Structure formats: C-alpha cells, structure tokens
Amino acid sequence: MKLTSKIETVGLNLHYGDFLALEDVNIRIPAQNITAIIGPSGCGKSTLLRCFNRMNDLIEHTNVQGRIVIDGRNILDPDTDLIFLRKKVGMVFQRPNVFDLSIYNNLRFGLRIHRMLNKRSDIMGAIQNSLEHVGLWAELKDKLRKNAHTLTLEQQQRLCIARVIMLKPDVILLDEPCSALDPVSTLKIEDLLRALKQEYTIIIVTHNMQQAARVSDYTGFMYLGRLIEFGRTQQIFTKPQEDLTENYISGRFG
C-alpha cells in the first residue's frame, strides 16, 4: 500500500524570540494513520504539533521559516485562512476543556462560529454522528441539555474529540490527551483513536512512550528541537536506527 502524506514540513525552523525551538524539521505525516511525536520535555514536540494549525501564531515573538504543506498548500502563506485551517486541523488538549455549557451547546459551538448547518434536524444528525464516533451517544443521548462539566473526565475528553469531529476535520491533533485520565480511561481513549484513524489523520504528542508505542503506527522522536528519527512504530521500538532514540526509549535519559 502506498502511503500518501497528509502533512509535510520542509526545512521548518521556529524561533521563540532568540530561542530556536524547532530546527530544520522535515517530517511527512502519513494520511489516515496515527503518528506519535515523542521526546523529552522541551524538545519541541508540542511546538511542532501547534505548527500544524498555526496555534503558535498566538504566542508573541514567534518566527517560523520553512514550509508546512497540507494537501498541497503551504499553510505558512500569509493568505492562509486560519479559521478554515483550524476547522480542517482540529486540536484536543491535555485537560478536557469543555465549555461551561450544555453538552448540546458544546457540540454546536463550532457550527455557529463556522456558520455550518442551520436546520435543527441537521444539527441533531451531526451531534448524533459525532457522539457515536466517540462512543458517547448511548450514554448521553437523553442528557444533551446537561452541563458538560457534570461528565467524568474521560467523557469530557471524548466530548472534546466529538466537538472537533463536528467540524468534519481531516486532521486531529492531540497534545497529551490522556495525561489527566486514569489508566483504564487512557486505554479506552486509545481504542477510540484507533477507530478514528479510518477517517482521520491523527497526530498525538505524548510524554508517555508506552502510549506512543501502543497506539501509533508511526513515531517521530525529537530532541533539542530536531527530529532525530521517524519511522514505523514497531521499528522505532524494536530496532531504532539512532543511538539517541535507543537511549531515550530505553529510559537511559530524558
């Protein structure tokens, strides 16, 4: 099977002020697979993730050079429609960040911003579809008017993923999505990600190497802002090519 890459970076450098946070990163993220980015704290993995929907623009004194090509377009071009980009490349964060609204309104929120779907039946259809995707429909279909904060943390994180799915993205970015969850909820979210990869390109940043090994198809190891190694997860965790990767994944540093 030939792999098509969904996202490709070419010579990507990123400075926070004088600090070089990403140095000449060249990565090809395969479509409809789960790619994990691992590496010690401060290696640039979250920074790289935030490049893919230009979330770093929100941080002052950020300077990006190089190219980030998604579906043939360089998203660093000044005329990039950021609202559209972030709809296409959705993001889920470390702690579930549900809004202090009902479950229904949490899910509808993005639709309003993007002026998508007006008919009530269409909206309900989309809500059902996205809650089904994350395995919450059966539990929540009669509780859509309840405040989202009444849900368990795992349900909240699932709801955050559902909220992203509402906007029909191509790519889902996840930044440490399980760090606030207990081990069983973590495994359930991992199962969910595996099911979602049929339709979406998923990129997950995680401190938890074991999680990267369990859930991903491809793994990139970053160190001091550079992408040291990228390959099939099985290969990275059984016969990494680089000593740095070997030392990190075997716990000799990091």
Partner 1 sequence: MVRESFCKYIKDLEKDVMDMGEMVIAAINRSIAALKGRNVDEAKRIIEDDMLINKKRWDLEEKCINLIATQQPVASDLREIIAILSIVTELERIGDYAEGVGKIVIMYGDEPPVKPLIDIPRMAEKAVDMLKKSLDAFLKRDAKAATAVCSEDDNVDLLYEQVYRELLAYMLENPKTISRATYLIWTAHNLERIADRVTNICERIVFLVTGTMTEVNVSKY
From the CB of 211, what's the least distance to partner 1, in Å?
10
Number of H helices, E strands in the chain: 10, 10
Tell me which amino acid residue 175 is: D
By the rule CB under 8 A, 241 interacts with partner 1:
no
Distance CA 72, CA 190 (A): 30
By the rule CB under 8 A, 191 interacts with partner 1:
yes
Q: Between the CA of residue 80 and those of 69, 74, 75, 83, 85, what are the distances in Å?
A: 12, 8, 6, 9, 7
Footprint of partner 1 on residues 128-187 (CB under 8 A)? 184, 187
By the rule CB under 8 A, 207 interacts with partner 1:
no
Q: Are strands 201-205 and 34-38 parallel, antiparallel or unpaired?
A: parallel
Question: Nearer Cβ to partner 1, position 64 or 213?
Answer: 213
By the rule CB under 8 A, 250 interacts with partner 1:
no
Residue of the chain from 88, 114, 143, 194 that contacts partner 1 (CB under 8 A):
194
From the CB of 49, what's the least distance to partner 1, in Å?
21
By the rule CB under 8 A, 214 interacts with partner 1:
yes
By the rule CB under 8 A, 238 interacts with partner 1:
yes
The 3-state DSSP composition of the chain as helix, strand, coil percent (nearest 5) reads 40, 25, 35
SS3 of residue 128 by DSSP: helix
Catalog residues that contact partner 1 under the rule CB under 8 A: 184, 187-188, 190-191, 194, 210, 213-214, 233-234, 237-238
